[in-house]
Amino acid sequence: ELKKTKVGARTNVSHLSYVGDATLGSGANVGAGTITANYDHITKVKARTILGDGASTGSNSVLVAPVHIGDNAVVGAGTVVTKDVNNNSVCVGNPSREIKNIQDLPYDQ
């Protein structure tokens, strides 16, 4: 489901996901079951989520707005994102506690 969302060229939101009040860059991928948690029930305010160009979210991830996922950043499956993720970074955890640059990871790409 998409609501008040702008989707960039070549971006995939193909599986059961809720993406509301968001801007998705070009060439991005939204994993199955990803949701944007865009409403704060205490303040009664909706906030936006921004997914950068080439960014990707893993299955069942939650993006707690307001949050910005940078260009070419990767959100691991099941991750709850509560703070911005830099360009070219990987974000994992529940909620995310560690954000690292992709080039610092110990495996070949």
| Three-state DSSP class for residue 109 | coil
Residue 15 annotated to the active site = yes
Measured over the CA atoms of residue 30, residue 5, residue 35 and residue 48, the dihedral's sign is positive
Q: Could you tell me the CA-to-CA distances from 83 to 8, 11, 44, 86 in Å, in that order?
A: 22, 22, 20, 10
Q: Which of 15, 83, 97, 100 is catalytic?
A: 15
In Å, how far from its chain's centre is CA 84? 9
d(CA 50, CA 59): 17
Give me the active site residues, please: 15
